[in-house]
Amino acid sequence: MSAHVHVVGFGTGPDHLTRDAVRALLDTDYVLAVRKQEDDDLLRVRRAICEEFEVELVEVPDPQRDRDDPTDYPAAVRDWHAARVAAFADILADRGGRATFLVWGDPSLYDSTLRVVEGLAADTRLAGLTWDVVPGISAPQLLAARHRVVLHPIGAPVHVTTARRLRDTIDEGQRNVLVMLGSEASLDLLEKLPGWTIWWGANLGSAGEELVAGPVRDVLPQVRAARARARELAGWVMDVYLLRDPVGDV
């Protein structure tokens, strides 16, 4: 049975859908999405988009993943992806047609959907599977817009990484860092960088959006308090921040 998959970045909700995203949704028979108990709000956004476009939402329970700091983190993630591939392949093989994955933010940044789709294309039951990708507004773009800043100094790079790797990134000499998938532990590290400047945001684009900016030495307590408020309101928190050493900044 033939099948085609649209991978659509939707930013943080319906307001961020581009015309290309709308065209993909109008070309969709059903939307595939994982169901995570702790991320109900994220699934509700997908439901709202499906209701707006009168598209069926097919929910798949998210396979279990070792999140307790596994010894081999990449291997744990690969196993998790493989389990997702198997679950989605069962549906696509049975239903075929034109399916869509709605991706929070943009599919190119710290999201597993494209790897999952590549795995689907390798499934013998889905021979001939085709797919396309529609970009979306990413968290770094939204962070920069909210704070009205450019992500890099003139003629200088911006290093994009995760909170998990922030310590190594600083030790390697990076001085203009965009941190995604923030964590409370990464904020502890910032106490050692009092002279740096931070532009921070949590749950961007949602009703509980939080923003803080300024010298780390002055605003770190505000960041902690804002992060706690965002989590209390939504039940989850996604934060991203730009961190810059002002030495040499132009």
Confidence of residue 164 (pLDDT cuts 50, 70, 90): very high
Same domain, 159 and 219: yes
Same domain, 105 and 184: no
Same domain, 150 and 102: no
pTM, two decimals, is 0.87
* Measured distance CA(193)–CA(217) in Å, rounded: 8
- On whether the CB atoms of residues 213 and 142 are closer than 8 A, the answer is no
The four Cα atoms 160, 162, 164, 168 give a dihedral, to 10 degrees, of 0
Of the candidates 146, 174, 159, 171, which has an alpha carbon nearest to the alpha carbon of residue 239?
A: 146
Give strand pairing partners of 137: none
- 7-26: per-residue pLDDT in tens? 999 998 899 999 999 999 99
Count up the domains in the chain and report the number: 2
Same domain, 53 and 167: no
Residue 222 domain-assigned? yes
Residue at which a domain ends, from 134, 160, 190: 134
* Measured distance CA(89)–CA(123) in Å, rounded: 7
* Domain CATH code at residue 163: 3.30.950.10
Query: What pLDDT score was predicted for residue 142?
Result: 97
Same domain, 43 and 66: yes
Task: Record the tokens describing residue 227, joined without a space.
Answer: 């992060």
Task: Record the tokens describing residue 26, joined without a space.
Answer: 């109008």
Same domain, 144 and 199: yes
Same domain, 183 and 129: no
**Percentage of the chain exceeding pLDDT 70:** 91
Residue at which a domain ends, from 103, 134, 165: 134
Query: What pLDDT score was predicted for residue 191?
Result: 92
Model confidence at 119: pLDDT above 90: yes
Residue 14 domain-assigned? yes
Other CB atoms within 10 Å distance of the CB of residue 207: 8
CA angle 113, 117, 118 (to 5 degrees): 115
Q: Please give the distance of CA 162 from its chain centroid, rounded to a whole number.
A: 11
Same domain, 22 and 113: yes
* Domain CATH code at residue 63: 3.40.1010.10
Residue at which a domain ends, from 116, 134, 152: 134
Q: Which of 62-71, 119-128, 200-209, 211-220 shows the lowest per-residue confidence on average (mean pLDDT)? A: 62-71
Residue 250 domain-assigned? no
Give strand pairing partners of 57: 31
Same domain, 193 and 112: no
Single-letter amino acid, residue 180: M
Model confidence at 114: pLDDT above 90: yes
Which residue range is the domain that position 233 belongs to?
139-244
Question: 139-168 burial, b if ≥16 CB within 10 A, otherwise e?
Answer: bbbbbbeebeeebeeeeeebbbbebbebee
Q: Rounded mean pLDDT of the chain?
A: 90
